[in-house]
Amino acid sequence: MKIVDFVRPELVIEELVSRDKADIIRELADHLAGHVPGVDRDTLAKVLMERERLASTAIGEGVAIPHGKLDAVGKLVACVGRSTKGVDFESMDGHPTQLFFVLVAPENSTGVHLKALARISRLFKDPSFRTRLIAAPDAAEMYRIIADEDARY
């Protein structure tokens, strides 16, 4: 499984404008819904926030992987966003979160969903990868960095 199978260049946000967790979720949901036919922004934001209420998806080291299931997506889809200043996302390490990787899967795709989460987590564990994403000048370069790193594994 490759990340570029479910992230397209237009689903990368160069700089998120929101400054708190709920607004970040809404901004990411809005962007994804604007690029994936049939996905309702409010429904997606609700699904992502319900998952956040269980436990924060901020895994530390400046990374969060908000995720959920929504039949409207039809297949696995993802959106990547960056906040160079960082946002309090209730991270396990207490540090601000700068990189957000939203993953949405259809209701009946547990295996694919878990494999994608594992792949994303592995990729984002690399400190140089995270540094390059944060330093990238624009969304196109962010996507290229993801694609290049994805091709290495």
Catalytic positions, written as ranges: 67
Residues 6+ apart with CB under 8 A from 36: 72, 73, 77
CA–CA separation, 115 vs 130, rounded Å? Answer: 20
Residue whose C-alpha is closest to residue 134's, from 105, 97, 91: 97
Which pair of structure tokens corresponds to residue 29?
């949901």
Identify any residues that bridge with 102 across adjacent strands, giving them in sequence order. 79
Which pair of structure tokens corresponds to residue 82?
């960056």
